[in-house]
A and B are shown apart, each in its own frame.
Chain A
Amino acid sequence: MEIVQLSLLGGLLALDGTSVGQFMVSRPLIAGLAVGWVLGDPVLGVAVGAILELYLLVSFPTGGSRFPEGATATVVAVSAAVVADSPAGLPLAVAVGLVWGQLAGFSVTLMRQLNSRVVPEPGRGHPGAGGIVTAHLGAVAMDFARGAVVTLLGVLAGRAVVGAVHGPWALSPADSVGLLLVGGSASMGILLRDLGGFRKRKTLFVAGMALGILGARFL
């Protein structure tokens, strides 16, 4: 039953990624909270979601680009982290989520190629109003089904991977977080470059950093 719930949630969140609304409930931070809530551990869900959000800071659902799908990645990662019973659980779950996000992104590309063949376009018959509605909503339904199936497979694979690791884990919990944050730091560097680069933005960036350090120390 839980697997079905997770698959349906994955399908719904995947829809938000591009097809419907883009209210960004599909972002890892929100998806992590939602999945954690469904699985009874929202704190862990947010922790996994925040780390994946850091990684996907520079990944946006722009129309034609191929991007890792954060929503399904997060559902897979949180569902794996919840069942893990070793210190390796969190880093393994995030790693599985990152890999699955790439595969899910590939499935988005495949679906768009399929859409190219089935949606009405000028010169390809006369679909009429009903045909346009059917094709459009059919594509939305297909995206939901894609998200649900990708999530289902990911949850099964993720839990199998995390469940297979029972041996000792070389890193402490703090070191594991450190390792995960190293990868996320690259995204922050990329974002600063996108915002104009360090040379142009150094005053604002350094001022913000000072505020962040003070906030972390005193809040």
Chain B
Amino acid sequence: MSTVLGRRETISAFMRSFLIQGSWNYHTMLGSGFAFSMLPALEKLYGSEPEAMEASLERHLEHFNAHPYLAGVALGAALRLESEGADPETVRRFKLAVRAPLGSLGDGLVWAAWLPGTSVLALALYWLGLPGWWAALVFLLVYNFGHIALRYWGFRVGLSEGRMVGRRLEQANLVMWTARLKAVVTVLLGILVGALLAGSNGLAGAGIVWVVLATCAFLAGLLVGHHAWRPAAATVVAVIGILAALGVLT
């Protein structure tokens, strides 16, 4: 990759990328986290030129947003561009161009498929009778295998491809992997629903009334989507509160 940046700076940038959301805010979003992650490399590149250093800090403090696990793609590529001496406008335009795709690809793959998938897997194992700590361990190991692999792959791709990173992202076909993953998550969700319906520590043990009510809540979620979440949770909290108040009063 670079003739200037060493292993130390690139490893440091990768490790710092785990803190990229540390100062998330509504103005620059990941901007200051991005600059924080770039710092060791920028100090190596521009340490002896205060004005150039200040200018590079300014451009990397600018508004930036992406999925945190895929922000490494932009980070690696920006490191490469800076080390190659790309002009500031190119770096700025590159970051502007990749932030939306890195956000939507990551949201689809991680937040909409990988996280719920591994979570549903762990819950299904728990309600099928696996000891709770085993289910928790399975979740942590499986989730973070994918998590860290994705971060590492993204950073490597960014470093090796620089501004041509879009081509590699296209070849990787993350959209197809997301679709396949969602199919697997659907099966896992079915298993969880089946385990909750038939398991003695689930709805089967609670009785038919609860099965019917849970089915209604499931259908409400299926039909209404995320708008059903708060009313469902609030109803349960209200019923618990009323029952508790009745218990106190009697």
Contacts and interface: CB of A to CB of B under 8 A. Distances in A.
Interface of A: 18-25, 27, 29-30, 33, 42-43, 45-47, 49-50, 53-55, 57-64, 86, 88, 91-92, 94-95, 98-99, 112-113, 115-116, 119-122, 126-129, 132-133, 135-140, 143, 164-171, 174-175, 177-183, 185-198, 201, 204-217, 219
B22 A189 contact: no
B98 interface: no
Given A46-B135, A46-B136, A137-B22, A122 B196 contact: no
Interface in B23-51: 23-33, 35-36, 39, 42-43
B126 interface: yes
Interface string B113-146: 0011001101110111100110110011001100
B217 A189 contact: yes
B186 interface: yes
Given A29-B122, A177-B205, A212-B198, A136 B22 contact: yes
26 contacts: A29-B136, A33-B133, A50-B123, A98-B236, A120-B32, A132-B35, A132-B36, A136-B19, A140-B23, A167-B250, A170-B243, A174-B206, A178-B205, A178-B206, A179-B239, A181-B196, A181-B214, A182-B210, A182-B236, A188-B193, A193-B221, A193-B222, A210-B194, A211-B187, A214-B194, A219-B128
Given A95-B236, A166-B248, A182-B213, A209 B228 contact: no
Given A132-B61, A208-B191, 11 more contacts: A27-B119, A42-B133, A49-B136, A63-B68, A86-B247, A129-B53, A178-B213, A181-B214, A192-B186, A192-B221, A205-B193
B109 interface: no
Contacts of A115: 23-26
A98 to B, nearest CB: 5
Contacts of A119: 23, 25, 27-28, 31-32
Contacts, number: 364
B101 interface: no
Nearest to A217: B198
Interface string B196-207: 111111111111
B10 interface: no
Given A50-B126, A132-B39, A216-B195, A195 B23 contact: no
A62 B107 CA distance: 8
Nearest to A124: B61
Contacts of A42: 132-133
Contact of A179 (B21, B23, B24, B236): B236
B176 interface: no
